[in-house]
Amino acid sequence: MARRWISVDGNEAAASVAHRTNEVIAIYPITPSSTMGELADEWSSKGRANIWGQVPSVMEMQSEGGAAGAVHGALQGGALATTFTASQGLLLMIPNLYKIVGELTPFAMHVTARTIATHALSIFGDHSDVMACRQTGIAMLASNTVQEAHDFACIAQAATLASRIPFMHFFDGFRTSHEVNRIEELDDDDLRAMLPEALIAAHRERALSPDHPVLRGTAQNPDVFFQAREAANGFHIDCPGHVRDAMDRFATLTGRRYGLFDYVGHPQAERVIVLMGSGAETVEMLVESLVRSGERVGVIKVRLYRPFSVEHFIALLPASTKAIAVMDRTKEPGAIGDPLFLDVVAALNEHGQLHPKVLGGRYGLGSKEFTPAMVKAIFDELHAPQPKSHFTVGITDDVTHLSLKVDPDFSLEESDVVQAVFFGLGADGTVGANKNSIKIIGEDTPNFAQGFFVYDSKKSGAVTISHLRFGPNPIRAPYLIREASFVACHQFDFLDKYDVLGYAEPGAVLLLNAPYGQNEVWDHLSAETQQAIISKKIRLYTIDGYTVARESGMGNRINTIMQVCFFAISGVLPRDEAIEHIKEAIRKTYGKRGESVVQANFAAVDAALAHLHQVPVPVEVSSERHPAPMVSPSAPDFVQRVTAMMLANQGDLLPVSAFPVDGTWPMGTAKWEKRSIATEIPVWDQGLCIQCNKCALVCPHAAIRAKVATPESLEGRPSTFKTVPYKGAEYAGMDYIIQVAPEDCTGCSLCVMVCPAKDKANPKHKALDLHPQRPLRDPERENYEFFLDLPEVDRHTIKSDIKSTQFLEPLFEYSGACSGCGETPYIKLLTQLFGDHLLIANATGCSSIYGGNLPTTPYTTNRDGRGPSWSNSLFEDNAEFGLGMRLAVEAQANEARRLLAALRDREVIEAGLADAMLDADQSTDAGLDAQRARVLTLREQLRDRINGERGEGDEARSQARRLLVLADSLAKKSVWIVGGDGWAYDIGYGGLDHVIASGLNVNILVLDTEVYSNTGGQQSKATPMGASAKFAASGKGHNKKDLALMAMAYGSVYVARVAFGAKDAQTVKAFQEAESYPGPSLIIAYSTCIAHGYDLAHGLDQQKLAVETGSWPLFRFDPRREAAGQPAMQLESGPPRGDVGKYMRNESRFRVVEQMYPERFKELLKGAQAHVLERYALYEKMAAKKETTS
């Protein structure tokens, strides 16, 4: 039977083989490899068997270290086992890789090669992770395309069984891993033919078994270790031969022939590029083109990188070669060259016969594009009279001048390929529709299709750019489209923000989703856009997609509507046929969700064409409107020069000199990015407002704020600026203001939901109602600017109650978190309370992405220039990282105090000042400010001493100099350790446990969404019973770990469990107590999340229900109370009331379990109900402890 052609991405291509050829799969989610594990889990949970008829067991572990350990154990136990990982995850596996290699255990793992975090984290692709494993001895096999990711997964599995050398099969993360392409699928018979039973039997024979026991894992002494280490040499030497055999057998089976290295190019090439990974395809494409035009060039594609077969490499290199460029997609600072370069140099040296010039080049770090123009520049450099011996390509290095000059206009013509680019919004479904279009073209027509998707870093209002190619021949081109014949812009405003038409080739089609009729669209375009359309002779089509979607019951999902327009205009398929395929896909995707969903989609499809219009393009520009600048002209220089370029998608053009050398980044850049993503924003009715400040508290984006101001300060206010006399004695005579940031609000509506003030005559109207943003944008922008310029409320006058805290300036604002995010209100509160003396250690995860992902970041400073100083180390070490910060703070403070005392004793510093500083009570804002004032005086006295008359070199002067550097450390600093449940409950738990046991004064804030949010909804140990999550699709069968209880067991840790939506005052109290507690504190904060599956506008109600039903009990456990004879535990929510199902059934994560597995859900519900009662009873006992014993 003929094999199937399927359209899949590299991850699915590799996972498909891995799942069918293994028995045990242990994984841990990490971008960009997570999809492989998720697919494996999905297939196993659907009962899909491997080629031997067994459903593989898929296990999510607590870390990649755990996954490697589990795989090692499974292999030792005689199973066929695999894992998938990338980047830091791969680093955590290294110790086990040494072991697995040392024990000669057949094992093929699959890696999406990803950047290792250095000066910054990058989720994108390069070879720095796989290159960090060279020394383990694992065999390394690189695939360059989606087809190869499929094929090499099989070849690696075959070769490892034959050679006993473990294999790392890798491909480029966020290129091959995420590129959708059409491939020929290997069927089960192919896989069976490649994996002889005898080799599997041999593997099982070697396994640990009490039936034929062996001992493995001894400790060896100096007398024998070395020899024993050399004993395996033969296996490594033979390995390339086994790979070659597997490749030959594979070729016989499938017709696809691969070598250990593959050469493409002129037989008498003079210039050759050597590289591995997807970039090799780009080189090959250009080589083919250059050879056709008579150039003597070639490329060696490295397949088997380790063990490196010098013999095979030399055999392929044309003897005519005069110059070689070896391209590494990694960087080893300080090395003579990057690793592949050194290998090639060594190979030539070992061979000794060929003496070409060898250049080392670096490209593509962190998924930097690698284009034919760059390859051209490399070949040109090989020609140059004095070529750069170690160059970079793809960037402009104006500091060390290593970069090659690239001709920006050079491109590779591919006449038979249609190229299309789509600008969409994450929430509008553009990417999903394009993935579907590729499937339709790739699987239902004879054409080949390729898709690649680019996302920005925001979690709300994210911009997506889809790159689609299709044509009659296989499509390689592992780089983004530069010139498309079809450009779709699914959001009208994008035309002003991004150079959308920069992608359009002359005569291209622009399909524009516009909220205007066909006769009005032209007039709404900017002059620049009109000019581009006219001069490029662009054919303009328009549709009011949102109206069509709304009328068809699709909400804001315009995906299928725009998809129909694409097919209708592009003519890839006859219209009717295309629509039929789209409808089939809709039925396939949504059929199980019910006919109503299918019908809404069908209605949208049917309505689309009637609303699609071609707009006649006038010959002249008529618009007088120009797009606003990317950032305000009042933004700082760095933001103007660097941030604005990144915001405009022009970051690739920034030279090396634009960047800080050590990853340090300026504060408060989010305020310059005005995204205007809300369609509706809150409007304040000051007459109704009861001035509770709850709106400001719940806002996830600090986009609605409260202030009081004196009448004088309000002079000159804008005409629409609203105020109302403050109700209350503390600010009598002042005016009260609630102000929205119209361009920063995401429209989540939490402020409106929490607003308690209703109009008595018309309760539908509240003190905050949502109104369309567009007409409000300009006046409210002016109002907000005026508001920000008003003086902040004096911190010393602010009481500690919930209302007053919202007059404190937030130093975390406008993050890219999801609209309605349940985590960010806690972080915002943290910065309001303690932001000016705060160090934050942030675990990798959502909070590090919205906290630190460029182009703009939300942590900012107050008017004194103080603010939270934030850093992210890793996912797994955050508690330790924060502990280190605390140790540093204390070390410096202790040293400063020692010096201060010494200088006091030497009468250099006034005794009164010194003693006041040493004894200062800094527990309040006033106390802290007083100490800061003393620091200023101290600095003056120290400077006087340093610059004074007494001679150089005296001890006092030296001490004064040192104290001057450390003077700030005499003012209090707080360390808060922030992260999600994946960190705190799973990968970082060991460290967290150690840190809370240390007794040191650190505060830990766990933003508990009960699931791995950032990587896409995998279960964690915080996932509650009954919730569906990846790796627990049928609903988690056991209880959430009680992290709070575990921490309370120490008796010396301050612990609180909070939910701001249920009891905000308790949340604030817990933060204040944790801060004041002199030892470790742990706050576990209920955080609503999009992964819970409901409209987060109801997040506050759900928090209330969670507390009311006992699913999320509230308490504070303060060991200080014990000294006063009171129980440390204060239980602050009542006994569970009602059925937990009342809470659970409001969220899709639980509800889908009930829908799919009703009987199981009944049991889980019963279990969850019993659990909340038992847990509450236990807490109740703890809260009553002292009363019963005293």
By C-beta, is 367 or 873 nearer to other proteins? 367
Applying CB under 8 A, among 241, 927, 1016, 1079 the residue interacting with other proteins is 1016
In this structure, what are the phi and psi dihedrals at residue 515, rounded to the nearest 5 degrees?
Answer: -80, 35
Applying CB under 8 A, among 31, 181, 552, 1039 the residue interacting with other proteins is 31
Residues between 809 and 848 with contacts to other proteins, criterion CB under 8 A: 818
Give the type of residue at 504. A
Q: Does 1158 bind other proteins (CB under 8 A)?
A: yes
Q: Does 1155 bind other proteins (CB under 8 A)?
A: yes
CB 126 within 8 A of CB 202: no
Residue 601 known to be catalytic? no
In angstroms, the CA 214 to CA 301 distance is 42
In this structure, what are the phi and psi dihedrals at residue 249, rounded to the nearest 5 degrees?
Answer: -65, -35
Applying CB under 8 A, among 3, 4, 593, 950 the residue interacting with other proteins is 593
Residue 164 known to be catalytic? no
Q: Does 128 bind other proteins (CB under 8 A)?
A: no
In angstroms, the CA 405 to CA 392 distance is 10
In angstroms, the CA 727 to CA 730 distance is 9
At closest approach, how far in Å is the CB of 178 from other proteins? 8
Q: Does 27 bind other proteins (CB under 8 A)?
A: no
* Sign of the Cα pseudo-torsion (72, 73, 77, 83, in order): negative
At closest approach, how far in Å is the CB of 587 from other proteins? 11
CB 329 within 8 A of CB 174: no
Applying CB under 8 A, among 94, 133, 195, 600 the residue interacting with other proteins is 600
Token readout for 1189 is: 């014993």
Applying CB under 8 A, among 77, 651, 1093, 1119 the residue interacting with other proteins is 1093
Q: Does 247 bind other proteins (CB under 8 A)?
A: no
By C-beta, is 34 or 1103 nearer to other proteins? 34
At closest approach, how far in Å is the CB of 570 from other proteins? 21
CB 4 within 8 A of CB 27: no
By C-beta, is 343 or 1147 nearer to other proteins? 1147
8-state DSSP, 1143: H
Candidate list 12, 35, 114, 872, residue with the active-site label = 114
* Sign of the Cα pseudo-torsion (1094, 1096, 1101, 1105, in order): positive
At closest approach, how far in Å is the CB of 867 from other proteins? 27
C-alpha distances (whole Å) from 372 to each of 390, 411, 450, 1065 are: 20, 6, 18, 60
Instruction: List the x/- string, 453-482, binding to other proteins by CB under 8 A.
Output: x-x-x-x--x-x------------------
Applying CB under 8 A, among 342, 534, 854, 1152 the residue interacting with other proteins is 1152
Q: Does 596 bind other proteins (CB under 8 A)?
A: yes
By C-beta, is 125 or 166 nearer to other proteins? 125
Q: Does 592 bind other proteins (CB under 8 A)?
A: yes
By C-beta, is 31 or 691 nearer to other proteins? 31
Residues between 527 and 556 with contacts to other proteins, criterion CB under 8 A: 553, 555
CB 364 within 8 A of CB 329: yes
Residue 50 known to be catalytic? no
Residues between 756 and 775 with contacts to other proteins, criterion CB under 8 A: 758, 760, 763
In the block, tokens 């009208």 appear at 492
CB 388 within 8 A of CB 359: yes
Candidate list 529, 842, 1014, 1109, residue with the active-site label = 1014
Give the residue from 592, 792, 774 showing the smallest Cα distance to 679.
774
In angstroms, the CA 1168 to CA 1171 distance is 5
C-alpha distances (whole Å) from 1025 to each of 307, 1110, 1144 are: 47, 13, 10
Strands 484-489 and 418-425: what pairing?
Answer: parallel
Q: Does 123 bind other proteins (CB under 8 A)?
A: yes
Applying CB under 8 A, among 19, 164, 557, 701 the residue interacting with other proteins is 557
In angstroms, the CA 1122 to CA 1099 distance is 35
Residues between 405 and 434 with contacts to other proteins, criterion CB under 8 A: 425-427, 429-432
Residue 1146 known to be catalytic? no
In angstroms, the CA 1125 to CA 1117 distance is 14
Count the residues in the chain.
1190
Give the residue from 1027, 1030, 1038 showing the smallest Cα distance to 1153.
1027
CB 548 within 8 A of CB 611: yes
Residues between 848 and 877 with contacts to other proteins, criterion CB under 8 A: 849
At closest approach, how far in Å is the CB of 432 from other proteins? 5
Q: Does 45 bind other proteins (CB under 8 A)?
A: yes
CB 538 within 8 A of CB 504: yes
At closest approach, how far in Å is the CB of 42 from other proteins? 6
Q: Does 701 bind other proteins (CB under 8 A)?
A: no
At closest approach, how far in Å is the CB of 120 from other proteins? 15
In angstroms, the CA 13 to CA 7 distance is 9
Candidate list 12, 23, 64, 295, residue with the active-site label = 64
CB 459 within 8 A of CB 590: no
CB 739 within 8 A of CB 708: no
Q: Cα 853–855–856 angle (5° rounding)?
A: 80
Size of the site for other proteins (CB under 8 A): 67
Applying CB under 8 A, among 247, 639, 802, 1032 the residue interacting with other proteins is 1032
Instruction: List the x/- string, 137-176, binding to other proteins by CB under 8 A.
Output: -------------------------------------x--
At closest approach, how far in Å is the CB of 1143 from other proteins? 16
At closest approach, how far in Å is the CB of 435 from other proteins? 7
Token readout for 1 is: 């039977």
Give the type of residue at 594. G
CB 993 within 8 A of CB 1055: no
Applying CB under 8 A, among 7, 35, 878, 1067 the residue interacting with other proteins is 35
Residues near other proteins, by CB under 8 A: 31-32, 34-35, 38, 41-42, 45-46, 123, 174, 425-427, 429-432, 435, 453, 455, 457, 459, 462, 464, 553, 555, 557, 588-590, 592-597, 600, 758, 760, 763, 818, 849, 1013-1017, 1028-1033, 1090-1091, 1093-1095, 1148-1149, 1151-1152, 1154-1156, 1158
Residues involved in catalysis: 31, 64, 114, 1014
